[in-house]
Every structure is written in C-alpha cells, then in structure tokens.
Amino acid sequence: MAYRDYLRVAELPDHVAASELESARFGLSVGRLSIGADVATDPSAVRQLVLAGGHDLTIVRYPSQLVGLAAGLLDADLVGWQADTLLYFENTWRATPGRAAVTDGEARLVEMTAERAGLLGATVREVFARYGNHYSANPCLDQEAALEGYVEWAVGSLRSPTRLALVLESVPDEVPLALCTLDVQADVAEIELAGVVPTSRGRGIYRVLLDHVEDRLRNDGRTGVVISTQAGNRTPVRAWIGRGYQYALGLNTVHLMRAESFRRLAPR
C-alpha cells in the first residue's frame, strides 16, 4: 500500500488480501493486511481476519504507535514476530536548503524503458544484494527469491503509466551508478526504491541521485516527495534530514504464520 493510502484509509479492511506474486515467488500462500494511520484497531479483530484468511504467511503492516498490537495477535494457532519498522520522510520543497539546479556533468538521469528492462533488473540486483528487509527476518523465505521480488517490482514500473524507473549513469560511458523507482500518481511523489551500486558508494553519488530526482519532480510539477527505509538504515535517513526532509510516518511490519505452516516450512 502506498504512503498516501495509509493516511486516508479510515477503517480496518474486511479481509486479508491474497498476494499472488509473493505466493508464487516463495512457494507458500501469502496474504497482506495493511492498517491505516488513523484506524482504531482491536487486536482480536485483526487476529480473526488473519485466521479467516488461512494463509501460510500473513504480512501485517500498521502504524508504529500501535505498540501493543503485535502481542495481541499471537495465540496457539499463530506464530509471529516483528519483521521491520519503516520510517517515512517527506520533503515538500519549502524545507529544502537552497541550491542551484543540477546540470548534466559527470552523471545524468535516464528514464528506463521496456527496451532497457534487463539493465534495470541487473542494477537492482547489484544495489540490493544482501539488503536487509522484512523478508530477511523470516527463516521460511528464500532470500534470493526476495531479491528477485525487488527486480520484479522495479521492472513492473516500466508497464505502469503512474510509475517511473530512473537510472543515474556516468557520462560519457553510460555505466549505471544508482537507481530510483517512483510512484508519481499523486502530487507528492513516492520514491519506492533508491540506492547506489556498491562500486560507486562513498563518492557522494546518493546526493547526486537525489539532486537529479528532485529536480525532475519539480520540473514535472510535483509538490513534494516522500521516501522510506528500515529504521536501522541510518545513512540515508541522515542524508534526508540534511536535505530538509521531515519525519512523516512510522509503520511496523509483522509476519504471522499459521503454527502448522511454520513447523512445516522452518529450516531444521
């Protein structure tokens, strides 16, 4: 669920949504339940939805201020744990320190097309190899399959009229330095994936990437941008704060598995 949806959903969903892509990717039945920022939530109601869904794994994401929710979801039929906390930061341009617009020099931002899907996928694999996310917390999930999920997500943006995939390339040799995928459906765009290839890290490339992406969004008439990462990922959070981004939302992710499924699927 996109950032804007967490802000506007006012009621608890009436069912767990089946995730066909994740089910196929991991070889088990996966469902998702996303709870909005202002939803008054009874843990027993959430637990009943999860049990009624009948999935091997249900991924529940909810506002971090609901600190007691996870404990209230567990019983003899469900095994669960907190898998991550996402922090969202927003920049509506007014808070951005003044700077000149970036120009093409040693790097340029290139919009990916279907013809370059292979390059985009290879760059995603390079950037996000060994990246820790909520899938990493689950011993029943194959981590190589999780990485391919990032590739699938990024390449899928090439087929959507409301998403963008951008790669920062070196000039003139056109070597990928970093990438960014975005949801641009709303006035405030959401960066979905962003990162720097390992061989280019430590050179200020992430700052250059954000410079180019922010200028692109301004020129397209967007009023701001929101971005998120896991709570333990300090480097980008510090970069965002330094650029005037402000904390906007925290979401916890919990993995709930049917006890029988966990016993069957967990490594021995």
**What is the DSSP code string of 138-174?**
-TTS-HHHHHHHHHHHHHHGGG-TTEEEEEEEETTT-
Structure token digits, residue 217: 């969004």
Q: Which domains does the chain have, with CATH numbers?
A: 3-84+251-265 (3.40.630), 107-250 (3.40.630.30)
Q: What is the pLDDT along the chain (268 residues), one digit of tens a residue?
A: 899 999 988 899 999 999 999 999 999 999 999 999 888 788 999 999 999 999 999 999 999 999 889 999 998 999 999 999 999 999 998 655 555 555 556 899 999 999 999 999 999 999 999 899 999 999 999 999 999 999 999 999 999 999 999 999 999 999 999 999 999 999 999 999 999 999 999 999 999 999 999 999 999 999 999 999 999 999 999 999 999 999 999 999 999 999 999 999 999 8
Q: Report whether 180 contacts 209 (CB < 8 A).
A: yes
How would you classify the pairing of strands 30-34 and 57-63? parallel
Cα(249)–Cα(225) distance, integer angstroms: 14
258's CB contacts (< 8 A; 6+ apart) are: 54, 55, 56, 77, 78, 79
Cα(59)–Cα(43) distance, integer angstroms: 15
How would you classify the pairing of strands 224-230 and 78-91? antiparallel
The residue whose two tokens read 């979401």 is 251
The partner residues of 108 in beta bridges, in order of sequence, read 169
What is the model's pLDDT at position 104?
A: 52
Number of H helices, E strands in the chain: 9, 10
Q: Report whether 56 contacts 29 (CB < 8 A).
A: yes
Q: Report whether 203 contacts 190 (CB < 8 A).
A: no
Cα(201)–Cα(95) distance, integer angstroms: 26
The partner residues of 188 in beta bridges, in order of sequence, read 224
CA–CA–CA angle 265, 131, 26 (5° rounding): 30
